[in-house]
Amino acid sequence: MSAATDPKQDLGDLDEFDGFVLADVTPKLEKWWFQYPHLLKLNLLLVCAFLAQFTCGFDGSMINGMQSLPSWKAAFGNPTGAKLGTLVNAINIGVLLSALFSSQLCEILGRKKPITIGTALITIGSVLQGAAHSLGMFIAGRLIIGLGTGIVAVAAPQLMTEAAYPTHRGKIVSLYMTQWVVGYLIAAWTTFGTFKMDSSWSWRLPSLLQGVPSLLQLVISIFAPESPRWLVFKDRQEEAMNMLAKYHAGGDRNSRLIRFEMLEIQATLEEEKKKNAIQWVEFIRTKGNRKRLWILLFIGYAAQLSGLGLTGYYLSKILDSVGITDARTQLLINAIAAIWQLCCSVFFAMLIDRFGRRGSITFGMTVMLLVFIIWTICSAINEQKNFTDHPLALAVVAMIFLFQVGYQPFAIATVPYVVECSLFSLRSKTAMIFQFCGYTASFFTGYVNPIAIDSIGWRYYIVACVVLGLECAFAWWYLPETKGKGLEEIGEIFDGDELLTGVQAISKHRKEQHAAANLRERKTFVDHVEVSNNP
């Protein structure tokens, strides 16, 4: 291996950073980030990953709205129950199919190329969905959208996490989840507007609009930078250094930040390679990875089993259950709720580095539990009064809005938390498992929710209360905090001495460097003595 690609030879003088962490060498920005051309360009290019959640949010709101559109009901035979569940779940099925290969794509091709592939599929699926002349064609388009969504959802958070400027990582990955709400908002108001159209364009137009952001992502992804961590892992150190210097330091390869980032990345990944940490068995082999796996499974399923499926896809049925049956009123509530969700999402995303990941998750779960308890009580009393108590119906609508005060801080923290906690070697697998958990849960609730609401009404909300109670207990007891640490330094929370990461890995290499230097000095001294004794 050449000097240009050998991590050990590239580590340089480690004594310079003895006792340092990433925060110590990250310069404080004296101006707004967009006033620095290299940071502006980086963040604009990361839009190819940033918009990944738009499709999911748009879809949830679009299907919500379409269930209130007479033309959509007429076109597809007013689907209900299991038939409606199949239509809603078509995207989930596509995502689950992508789980068979999405992590391998990210490990082999990197982070940006899978985004290009996935966004191309979403664009094609959106066109097919918008042009559908039968239920089968509509479902086929949604399957293709799901396939592309699954690929992008695995690659996108990794690219942002691994390529973002250190002090931007938390906010940019948290704001990534706000795009779900942006998509939801645009779809809500689109379907509210197309409700007035007395033709199939009332549902075809929203279906086609679902692919517009993906087309933008597709174009931008061609020019986006690759993850420097993936480049280092593939022994492409020079490319990684160029990427970091160009986008993190405006081209200054001698910047202390860039040299420290390279040291930390190389030292950490070299330790992971020594442990062969890329194998699936690593998830259960060490204590640190077992803790990561439990957190991953918990957050993956909790994101969908916390009541989101009810407000995300079956809002019209909830409103029907409390006596609000007018289609225009339902669409208006859906559209206003979308604006409220966006406000909550952006607000809590901007506070992610202050509240922390654990703080946001525990706060959110506690609020959701309290909301669902009140929601259940109001729905039960309203049913007993034969839906004649208008204030109780309004109380349920208020709970739908207050639910977002809990769900949004939880949602915006999930992706950065899961991706940050993972070792680089397992990050693609982690992102894939996270998506698999979320979409299997969504697949389950997509079928169960409409059937359960039709069968037992408000009593189904008791299930959400029980699930949220268990989730609250787990979150408060088990989740560690990760805020304020560099990406490689988070491993110290989980691994201890089992696997050295971040500063610990640098320290180990510094000791090895000193030992090697001492050995060379002793060898030089011995050689000198031998030459002196044998003139």
432: three-class secondary structure by DSSP: helix
Place 93 in a pLDDT band, splitting at 50, 70 and 90: confident
Give me the DSSP letters along 321-389: HTT---HHHHHHHHHHHHHHHHHHHHHHHHTHHHH-HHHHHHHHHHHHHHHHHHHHHHHHHHHHTTT--
Residues 3-20 have a mean pLDDT of 54
277: three-class secondary structure by DSSP: coil
> Could you tell me which residues come within 8 angstroms of residue 509 by beta carbon, excluding any fewer than 6 positions away?
8, 11, 14, 267, 270
Helices (H), 67-101: 70-75, 81-98
Q: How many CB atoms lie within 10 A of CB 283?
A: 18
Top pLDDT among 473 and 341 is at 473
C-alpha dist (Å) from residue 355 to 298, 342, 358, 427, 483: 20, 19, 8, 24, 9
pLDDT score at 6: 45
406, 368 contact by CB (below 8 A): yes
| Token couple for 258 | 């860039």
pLDDT (tens digit, 9 = 90+) per residue, 126-138? 999 888 888 888 8
523: three-class secondary structure by DSSP: helix
Q: What is the dihedral of CA 217, 218, 224, 226, to 10 degrees?
A: 110
From 29-38, 56-65, 229-238, 399-408, the region with the lowest mean pLDDT: 56-65
Four-residue CA torsion sign, 326, 328, 331, 335: negative
How many percent of the chain have pLDDT more than 90?
34
pLDDT score at 523: 62
| Token couple for 453 | 């609401």
> Could you tell me which residues come within 8 angstroms of residue 228 by beta carbon, excluding any fewer than 6 positions away?
162, 163, 240, 241, 243, 244, 261, 265
Top pLDDT among 388 and 307 is at 307
Place 56 in a pLDDT band, splitting at 50, 70 and 90: confident
Q: How many CB atoms lie within 10 A of CB 252?
A: 13
Separation CA 187–CA 197 (nearest Å)? 15
The structure's pTM equals 0.81
Place 528 in a pLDDT band, splitting at 50, 70 and 90: low
- 85-117 CB burial, b ≥16 within 10 A, e <16: bbbbbbbbbbbbebbeebbebbbebbbbbbbbb
Place 2 in a pLDDT band, splitting at 50, 70 and 90: very low
296, 437 contact by CB (below 8 A): yes
From 55-64, 197-206, 292-301, the region with the lowest mean pLDDT: 55-64
460, 360 contact by CB (below 8 A): no
pLDDT at 198 over 90: no
pLDDT score at 534: 63
Residue 96: phi and psi, rounded to 5, are -65, -35
pLDDT at 313 over 70: no
Top pLDDT among 3 and 214 is at 214
Separation CA 369–CA 218 (nearest Å)? 39
Give me the DSSP letters along 135-170: HHHHHHHHHHHHHHHHHHHHHHHHHHHHHS-GGGHH
Residues 286-303 have a mean pLDDT of 90
Q: How many CB atoms lie within 10 A of CB 448?
A: 14
Helix (H) or strand (E) holding 477: helix 460-478
- Residue ranges with strand state E in 206-253: none
pLDDT (tens digit, 9 = 90+) per residue, 471-509? 999 999 999 998 888 888 888 888 877 766 767 766 776
pLDDT score at 7: 41
Residues 23-27 have a mean pLDDT of 87
> Could you tell me which residues come within 8 angstroms of residue 456 by beta carbon, excluding any fewer than 6 positions away?
none
Q: Across the chain, what does the average pLDDT equal?
A: 83
Residues 505-517 have a mean pLDDT of 64
Domain spans of the chain?
37-226+275-495
pLDDT score at 1: 36
Residues 271-275 have a mean pLDDT of 81
190: three-class secondary structure by DSSP: helix
Name the CATH code of domain 37-226+275-495 (choices 1.10.645.10, 1.20.1250.20, 3.40.50.300, 1.10.10.410). Answer: 1.20.1250.20
Q: How many CB atoms lie within 10 A of CB 469?
A: 14
334, 192 contact by CB (below 8 A): yes
Q: Report which of 164, 149, 150, 146 is spatially closest to residue 224, judged by C-alpha positions.
A: 164
pLDDT (tens digit, 9 = 90+) per residue, 426-478? 999 999 999 888 878 877 776 777 777 778 777 888 888 898 999 999 999 99
Size (the chain), residues: 535
Helix/strand/coil percentages in the chain, nearest 5: 80, 0, 20
pLDDT score at 79: 75
pLDDT (tens digit, 9 = 90+) per residue, 211-251? 888 999 999 999 999 999 999 999 999 999 999 999 999 99
Q: Report which of 173, 102, 137 is spatially closest to residue 421, judged by C-alpha positions.
A: 173
